[in-house]
Amino acid sequence: MDLDEFLCWFNSTGVITENVNVCYSDSCGFGLYSRRSFIEKNSLVLSIPENLFIKPSFENKDLTGFEHLIIYLLEEKSNPYVSFLRSIQPIPQWCVFPNDKYPRQLSDKMKQHLNKYNQSRIKIQQYNDDQFQWAYYIINTRCVHFPMDISSKDQDNNLCLIPYLDFVNHSIEPNTMSNFNSFTRSYEIRTTKPIDINEQITFLYNPHSNVDLLIEYGFVLTSNLYNQLNIEYELEQILSNEQIQKIKSFNYWNSLELYSGDNDLSWTVIKTIELTFNQDHWSPYDDPSIEDKCKLKEKLKQLLTDVKQNIEKDFQQWITNHFHLEKNILYHDFLTIIRDTSVIVDKSFIEI
Ligand SMILES: C[S@@+](CC[C@H](N)C(=O)[O-])C[C@H]1O[C@@H](n2cnc3c(N)ncnc32)[C@H](O)[C@@H]1O
């Protein structure tokens, strides 16, 4: 089924789509674009009623909602939306080239992502690899968070597919927001700024970094304020196992990232580095002493040098025929974070 047939069916459902057009671009695939000469801020652009949502059935207690949706997509033969989705190729390119020598900043997260993928694959074996992969990524790239009427709070159980709403592309400077309206029982898109004719309608999927966007959706943004640089590996090199356990016991280990922009260093990073030289008087909550701040500054500078060297090495080793643009953007992202953090480190602990 092609786009026109899908739109013909969708328009027959009674949903008002007169504010928008579906158009295709090479950079983003399909997307929604304004059809009105001017749409004011706070206007309702689109409203999709709950009866059109595709929700997990939860028939099989061993499967998550996400996995129920995989099976639904592969079994459903008559739904026009599913027929249209069959024409979409949702698989992020990196899955097609698993042997590329990805830098650690990517490969660690790719492994986590693939672990989750494989957990579902093991549970759903009645389809071939291509079928499963297609359905998995249709859901991964198009589902919407939606609280289901069940006790589980797990994200994978609280989601659904919403036809047509899933044409909206991601932006970190979006012009709309989407929400479920519990009075009208529909998912609504409302403008957060005025929109001109032919302007693309976008919303923020989540505050994803470029690494996450590449892994989950297969694209990166040229500028992304949500970028992060994980420094777990470099910290592992300067901490003993015992110290790592200590940091983990305070739940600090999972938030060891640097960010770009004029942010302060995160407390978890400061405290983790402090532990490398201050084992006797270290406490998770107290400010380091003046003397320790001095050491901290030196340690941070050394850490940044190590992180930079590792990034440079990893990116040199990433010989790829397929991701030149992504490689350049990600490399630039990481160097920007290191440079911004260096400025912060220089400015920090100014009283020293
Ligand atoms: C929910 S769908 C949006 C509709 C989709 N573009 C389509 O062709 O049907 C999400 C997918 O759109 C693409 N996408 C979304 N935002 C994008 C962006 N800002 N730049 C490039 N691709 C984007 C990615 O392929 C992503 O996996």
Q: Give the ligand 1 atom nearest the CA of 167.
A: 4
Query: pLDDT tens for residues 129-160?
Result: 999 999 999 999 999 999 998 899 999 999 99
Collapsing DSSP states into helix, strand and coil, what is residue 73? helix
The rounded Å distance from CA 168 to ligand 1 centre is 7
CA distance 201 to 35: 10
Residue with the smallest CA separation from ligand 1 atom 12 is 169
What is residue 351's predicted lDDT score, i.e. its pLDDT? 55
Backbone φ and ψ of 39, nearest 5°? -115, 125
Backbone φ and ψ of 164, nearest 5°? 80, -50
Kindly state whether residues 232 and 296 are assigned to the same domain. Answer: yes
CA distance 46 to 51: 15
* Domains identified in the chain, total number: 2
Kindly state whether residues 254 and 202 are assigned to the same domain. Answer: no
The rounded Å distance from CA 98 to ligand 1 centre is 21
The rounded Å distance from CA 103 to ligand 1 centre is 24
Query: pLDDT tens for residues 197-223?
Result: 999 999 999 999 999 999 999 999 999
What pLDDT band is residue 175 in, cutting at 50, 70 and 90? very high
Whether the per-residue pLDDT at 350 is higher than 60: the answer is no
Kindly state whether residues 187 and 254 are assigned to the same domain. Answer: no
Mutate which of 24, 88, 141, 166 to test ligand 1's pocket (most atoms within 8 Å of Cβ)?
141
Kindly state whether residues 259 and 306 are assigned to the same domain. Answer: yes
Residue 144 falls inside a structural domain = yes
Residue 274 falls inside a structural domain = yes
Residue 219 falls inside a structural domain = no
| Mean pLDDT within 246-260 | 91
Query: pLDDT tens for residues 97-133?
Result: 877 889 999 999 999 999 999 999 999 999 999 999 9
Residue 252 falls inside a structural domain = yes
Which residues on neighbouring strands pair with residue 287, listed in sequence order?
none
- Establish whether residue 28 lines the binding site of ligand 1, counting it when its CB lies within 6 angstroms of any ligand atom: yes
Torsion of CA 296, 262, 212, 269, to 10 degrees: 20
Residue 213 falls inside a structural domain = no
CATH code, 121: 3.90.1410.10
Kindly state whether residues 100 and 137 are assigned to the same domain. Answer: yes
- Establish whether residue 217 lines the binding site of ligand 1, counting it when its CB lies within 6 angstroms of any ligand atom: yes
Whether the per-residue pLDDT at 10 is higher than 90: the answer is yes
CB 258 within 8 A of CB 337: yes
> Which has the closest alpha carbon to 134: 94, 205, 167, 85?
85
CA distance 324 to 321: 7
The boundaries of the domain holding residue 341 are 228-347
The rounded Å distance from CA 219 to ligand 1 centre is 8
**Mean pLDDT score of the chain:** 94
Kindly state whether residues 192 and 274 are assigned to the same domain. Answer: no
Kindly state whether residues 339 and 198 are assigned to the same domain. Answer: no
What is residue 352's predicted lDDT score, i.e. its pLDDT? 46
- Establish whether residue 29 lines the binding site of ligand 1, counting it when its CB lies within 6 angstroms of any ligand atom: yes
Residue with the smallest CA separation from ligand 1 atom 7 is 30
CA distance 303 to 276: 12
The rounded Å distance from CA 44 to ligand 1 centre is 22
User: Percentage of residues in the chain with pLDDT exceeding 90?
Assistant: 86
- Establish whether residue 203 lines the binding site of ligand 1, counting it when its CB lies within 6 angstroms of any ligand atom: no
- Establish whether residue 127 lines the binding site of ligand 1, counting it when its CB lies within 6 angstroms of any ligand atom: no
> Which has the closest alpha carbon to 214: 332, 326, 328?
326
Predicted interface score ipTM higher than 0.95: yes
Return the structure tokens found at 234.
């470099």
Residue 221 falls inside a structural domain = no
Residue 145 falls inside a structural domain = yes
Whether the per-residue pLDDT at 16 is higher than 50: the answer is yes
- Establish whether residue 166 lines the binding site of ligand 1, counting it when its CB lies within 6 angstroms of any ligand atom: yes
Kindly state whether residues 10 and 156 are assigned to the same domain. Answer: yes
Residue 215 falls inside a structural domain = no
- Report which DSSP code applies to 9: H
